[in-house]
Every structure is written in structure tokens, then in C-alpha cells.
Amino acid sequence: MSSSSLRTMLRSIRFSVKCVERLALERCPARRATFGRLYLEIPDRCIVVVDEIHIAGPAMVRRRGRVPVGRALEALAPDPRVRPRFSSTVAVSYNRGILELAVNVVPPAQNGDDFILFCVSLVRRMNAFVPGAPWAEQPNDGVLVCDNAFVHTALVDMILDINGVHRLPLSPDSPDFSAI
């Protein structure tokens, strides 16, 4: 693949070469392995994963696709109406499915205040983590796994702590550990 093709692909997913270089420099196999060992110790019934998802409205309708040879492609034509962009936050429990969902139309984009409101509502659906207790005795849905997005502020950490929710920050170079 040529470098210009790579740049074009990166631009289409809103990544720059600098962003990819920064991500490569942040990669730390030791930190990733430590997080992986800790994550695998926690029973699935205790884990709730939260993540933000951004969807460009027109991207939801695909004009092209792949099908097996000999079959016709049933692609939807792009809708001429303007579709809004959405920013959503979802919290998923391995045990009970979706615990909390918040959807915002962009603009305005989701901000720290929206995430605080999301967490205040989410903690009512989670159970308190028991410090020092073995995993076999921990309640379901007591550990929150989240990435390091800018909306995850110290105030959010304080809300989680006050409500007994144990926060496990996702390692920056381990997005594959997120269930979402």
C-alpha cells in the first residue's frame, strides 16, 4: 500500500499520521499484560463496561458492500434527508445487558456534564464493591471498566467512589479488552 493510500484511509476514519504515531509511542506491552491479568481475575458477573460511541448519521446507510460471488447486493440508497450525528454512551453488564444508555445529538457534542449525569444514573443500577473481599464474594455489577476519554473527570471518580463502584480504567493501548 502506498503512503498516499494510507493517508487517505486514515483521513476517512478521522485519524492523522501524528495520531497513529502517538498511539504507537503510548503502547506499553507490560502495562497491557498487567491490565489483562487483572481483568481476567474479575468474574464477568462483576464487570460493567462503559464506552462512548459517535455515529455520523449518513454513515448508517451504506451504498456499497460485499456479498458472495453470484449474489446481488441489496444496498440501500443514501437518504436525501440530512441525518444528524449522534454521540451515545452505553453501559453494558455481562450479567444483565444494557444498564444505562444516553444519546445526544451532535452538535452540541457530549461533554463532561453529560457524562456526570450518565454516571449518577448508572450508579443506581450498580452494586457496591466490597474492598478486601474475594471475587467469589463480590456482588454482581460492582466494577466499572471505562476508557480514558476526556469526559472521565475527577468528579466522575468521586461519584463512583461515594457510591461504592470500583473503577478499572482501561489501558490506553488495550481497546480490545472493552466488550463494546
User: Where do the structural domains in the chain lie, given as residue ranges?
Assistant: 28-64+87-177
pLDDT in tens, 154-177: 888 899 899 999 988 887 766 666
pLDDT value, residue 70: 72
Query: How is domain 28-64+87-177 classified at the CATH fold level?
Result: Nucleotidyltransferase; domain 5 (3.30.420)
In eight-state DSSP terms, residue 38 is: H
pLDDT value, residue 90: 82
pLDDT in tens, 36-92: 888 889 999 999 988 877 665 555 445 555 566 777 666 555 555 566 667 778 888
Question: Residues 173, 67: contact at Cβ < 8 Å?
Answer: no
Length of the chain: 180
CA–CA distances in Å: residue 17 to residues 5, 6, 142, 172: 12, 9, 38, 18
Give the pLDDT band of residue 109 (cuts 50, 70, 90).
Answer: low
Give the pLDDT band of residue 102 (cuts 50, 70, 90).
Answer: confident
